[in-house]
Structure 1
Amino acid sequence: MSKLQLSVAVGPYDRMRPLVDGEVQIEGVDPTFLLQEPEEIFFRALRHADYDICELSLSSYSVKTAAGTSAYVAIPVFPSRAFRHTSVYVNVNAGIKKPEDLKGKRIGVPEYQLTANVWVRLFLEEEYGIKASDVTWVRGGYEDPTRVEKVSLNLPKDVELVNAPQGETISGMLEAGEIDALIGPRAPSCFDRGSPNVKYLFDDPQAEAVAWYRKTKLFPIMHTLGIRRTLVEQHPWLPMSVMKAFEKSKAIALRRLTDTSATKVTLPFIETQLRATRELMGDDFWSYGFAANQHTLNRFLTQHYAEGLSSRLLKAADLFHPASLESFSI
């Protein structure tokens, strides 16, 4: 039987390298890997279903799944996870000294439904009492004013979402004080170049994230992995073949990260950071699979539905192909 020739679009992460380099094979598949940034993958996947297998925004995929319009079905592989206490930036002249001061402010977002923004709104509401209806949301591109919301939204009537003025970017508006804060998965360019007008909301975002994890045991999932639904219908063995390969690739990447005789990443102090992470979160801190992530997924989906982003309340199992919810053992 000839192998399936499939396109695979993912980010250029260390956990993908063994797959991309051919060290790990996907059983029955001859892949063509496309290493692209998330914004490109998500736009092309959600608008045009350009890929056979691809990384998907957890939020956008949930919107589509709830509506029954997703061209993809996911497996519980999570290429991207991140604590998002570093995702809130404020103008230093906006009078925002603590999270509660965000009430009544104008907050920029590149897209309202981005996964990172859902997670930020979750902890802002649960920890600090800030509801989505307490602020005015200003949607616009970070650096390109033509950016659009990838999926159509039906938000609650008490949530005010407006577009940035024509030709304006939310990075420029934040630096100029035309918005008070910005929430998003990337740092705006004004922050990266050290503008004196812009800073993190939290003075020590890592400490805030660690304290939040100790309390909630949530390590936010950003992206999942989707397979074209028509392919899965034709080849029911495909989800588990993909699942096994991505698990193996991640395991190799973590093993290499542990070998600090010659550091595999261009950053000092990896050994101490890795040890601290395992002490906080356990050895399998970047877990794939359904059972280990059911709690995190259900918390996200509850928030997603409460915000009016998904048209029905999904459960974690609704996101994934049934064959990927369990595995064999010997």
Structure 2
Amino acid sequence: MTKPRIRLALRDWDHLVPLATGTIRSEAFDLELDSRASTPDVLSEPDLDGGETSFSRYVLGTAAGDDRLVGLPVFVMRGFRHRCVLVSRDSDAREFADLKGARVGLTGWPDSGNTWTRALLREAGVDLDGIEWTVGAVDAPEPGKDRVGTAELPGNVSVSDGSLAEDLAAGRLDALMTPFMPAGFFTPQSRFRHLLDDHPAAELGYYRRHGFVPGIHLVTLKREVVARHPWLPQAVQELFEQSKRWWLSRRRLLTDTTPWLLADLSRTREVFGEDWMPYGTAANAAMTAAFCAELHAQGIAPAPIDPEELFTS
């Protein structure tokens, strides 16, 4: 019997390299991995069977009754957000509480990562309604990119067609929330710095309080594909798990890709155990519940969301 060919579009995450090279293969299906520079819109591409999807867009769509995607608890992008808040080099702000009443730029209003970052501000006692938010691109505008979603924006949120980095440098913004550093950030002449002087320490504290690393993007499959192959979600999850574990074993062997990779791998194992980015519903239950609660608390989701309904095919 001929194996089905499944085409998935994802960004080129390191832990997917074994899949991209064919080192890890499935006995149940043939995988065609389409590498993308940015997160694909899976539903808008008929040739795709699935791919990388924003966690918030998936959650909000599912909660609104859109069942065209089947989400897998396979979070290919996850990370702490303390490092994602930038200020000007000469700013007096040093902690989240300093952003009360500030002018803050961010790269997308309903985005998963920015939802987690706003959660950090709420945890620090910052009233999100008291902030003047500006949504836009960090450097150059990207025509056609959806940064606001379908819901009406709150009154304290505006949209810019310019550069948030330039607005921050010019003093028109007090801070910038972004997962991607502005041009020139990794130079001695950078105009910007992280808000927190020691974001790794703050992130470690967050993990010890909450017990998870926030999930940002996950893998989804189109529902019609799952209808044809009901076994596919589990098979895809198992394949991605194999790829992740193979990648880690190779990184632990070939540690010369960065000067301190070996130390980082050792520290990561010490803090998080064998797997800092676990897949599966149970392993992500606390994180998923916290995210759903935060979407509602921030007004992104109009009603409470049941996290247990997200990963049922």
Q: Do the structures match in fold with TM over 0.5?
A: yes
Give yes or no for the alignment of 1:129 onto 2:125: yes
Asked if residue 63 in structure 1 is aligned to residue 60 in structure 2, the reply is yes
How far apart in 2 are the matches of 1:130 and 1:47? 37
Q: State the match for 2:36 in structure 1.
A: 36
Contact 2:9 2:33 in 1 (8 A): yes
For 1:78, the equivalent position in structure 2 comes to 75
Residue 276 (structure 1) aligned with residue 304 (structure 2): no
Give the Cα–Cα distance (whole angstroms) in 1 for the partners of residues 175 and 272 of structure 2: 30
Matched, 1:106 2:103: yes
Q: From the superposition, tell whether residues 220 and 176 of structure 1 become closer, same or farther in structure 2 (CA, over 3 Å).
A: same
| Pair 1:239-2:233 in alignment | yes
Contact residue 25 and residue 239 of structure 2 kept, 8 A = yes
Name the residue aligned to 2:196.
Answer: 202
Amino acid at match of 1:153: A
Q: CA RMSD in A?
A: 2.0
Pairwise CA distance, 1:278: 1.6
CA distance in 2, matches of 1:131, 1:64: 27
Q: Would the aligned equivalents of 2:136 and 2:159 in 1 still touch at CA under 8 Å?
A: yes
Equivalent residues in 2 for 1:41-190, closer than 5 Å: 41=40, 44-45=41-42, 47-48=44-45, 51-126=48-123, 128-145=124-141, 146=143, 147-149=145-147, 151-155=149-153, 157=154, 160-164=156-160, 166=161, 168-190=162-184
Closer, same or farther: CA 286–196 of 1 in aligned 2, 3 Å: closer
Aligned partner of 1:301 among 254, 267, 292: 292
Aligned partners of 1:184 and 1:49: how far apart in 2? Answer: 31
Residues matched between the structures, number? 311
Q: How far does residue 50 in structure 1 lie from its aligned partner after superposition?
A: 5.7
- Shift of the 47–93 alpha-carbon distance from structure 1 to 2, 3 Å rule, reads farther
CA distance in 1, matches of 2:107, 2:168: 12
Which stretch shows the higher mean deviation, 302-311 or 226-235? 302-311
Q: What is the deviation of 1:258?
A: 2.2
Q: Could you say which residue in structure 2 is the equivalent of 1:14?
A: 14
TM-score, length of structure 1 as denominator length: 0.87
Q: Which amino acid aligns with 1:268?
A: P
CA contact (8 A) 1:298 1:316 kept: yes
Shift of 1:191: 2.9
1:93 Cα deviation after fit: 4.8
Q: Hey, what does 1:227 align to over in structure 2? A: 221
- The offset of 1:195, in angstroms, is 4.8
Identity rate, percent:
31
Q: Distance in 1 between matches of 2:67 and 2:176?
A: 29
- Does residue 266 (structure 1) correspond to residue 264 (structure 2)? The answer is no
CA drift at 1:51: 2.2
Distance across 1 between alignment mates of 2:50 and 2:159: 32
Change in 2 beyond 3 A, CA 1:277/1:197:
same
Q: 1:26 and 2:26 equivalent?
A: yes
Residue number in structure 2 paired with 1:291: 282
**Residue pair 1:49, 1:71 contacting (<8 A) in 2 also:** no
Q: Which runs of 5+ in 2 are unaligned?
A: none
1:239-278 Cα shifts (integer Å, max 9, x gaps): 111111111111111111222xx42x62022222112112
- Structure 1 unaligned residues grouped into runs of 5+: 323-330
Once residues 27 and 319 of structure 1 are traced to their aligned partners in structure 2, the CA distance between those partners, rounded to angstroms, is 27
Displacement of 1:310 in angstroms is: 2.4
Residue 190 of structure 1 and its aligned partner are, at CA, apart by 4.9
- Is contact 2:94-2:197 (8 Å) kept? no
Moved over 6 A (4+): none
